Amino acid sequence: MVGHMNLNTSSQSNSTQSLLTPEEKAEADAKSVYVGNVDYGATAEEIEQHFHGCGSVARVTILCDKFSGHPKGFAYVEFTEKDGMQNALAMTDSLLRGRQIKVDPKRTNRPGLSTTNRPPFRGRGGRGRGNVIVKYVYGGGFRPRGRGARRRPGFAPY
DNA sequence: GTTGAGCGTT
């Protein structure tokens, strides 16, 4: 028999959405964790190294205010594998730069869950809160925006 | 020059 068919089924070519439930999809699609309560002085590098022990960090995103220009103190950590994200979840309330950070599964939007109820402002050209996102590159997939990356000289991934 | 809100893209 020469015709050895490849029953590879390849798999991922198919739409993974149908096979994955919304819950799994959220985790698989996210592969990232939301970090809160981060010190304003903490940089992506610190967060990356802190989470690096959980797994391979793909990218670290820090949210900052574009209008004010002041960092919000929140960041997102994306892992190259889901394992890293799950490990990061266990790092919740871990001590980072002397501050306990909050780690939660990434979410697109969260209902009012804050100490102070924040009613959304509607109307007016106010485009939401207007947050600028500062991206930090790790490994080298894409280049960060802004004038020059914040990469500190002499910084080695390992 | 401060402070503490809660969700982002390649």
> CA-to-C1' distance for A99 and B9, Å?
27
A118: Cβ–Cβ under 8 A, 6 or more apart, which residues? Answer: A112
A109 nearest nucleotide via C1' and CA = B7
The label of the residue with tokens 């889901």 reads: A82
**Model pLDDT, residue A29:** 62
pLDDT > 90? residue A92: yes
The per-residue pLDDT for range A23-77, each reduced to its tens digit, is 556 555 668 899 999 998 888 888 988 998 898 888 898 888 777 777 888 899 9
DSSP secondary structure string, A105-153? E--S---S-SSS--PPP-SSS--TT-EEEEEE--SSSS---SSS--PPT
A116 nearest nucleotide via C1' and CA = B5
**Model pLDDT, residue A83:** 86
Q: Is A123 exposed, middle or buried (0-12, 13-18, 19+ CB in 10 A)?
A: exposed
A128 nearest nucleotide via C1' and CA = B7
Query: Is the pTM value of this prediction over 0.75?
Result: no
Q: What is the mean predicted confidence (pLDDT) over A107-130?
A: 50
Q: How many helices (H) and strands (E) does chain A have?
A: 4, 6
Which nucleotides in chain B lie less than 7 Å from some protein C-beta?
2-10
> CA-to-C1' distance for A133 and B9, Å?
9
Q: Alpha-carbon torsion A41, A54, A49, A56, what sign?
A: negative
The per-residue pLDDT for range A93-117, each reduced to its tens digit, is 999 988 999 998 887 766 555 444 4
Tokens of A40: 């304003």
> CA-to-C1' distance for A2 and B8, Å?
51
> CA-to-C1' distance for A40 and B3, Å?
9
More confident residue, A108 or A83: A83
Residue type, A82: K
CA atoms within 13 A on the CB side of A108: 2
Neighbour tally for A97: CB within 10 Å: 14
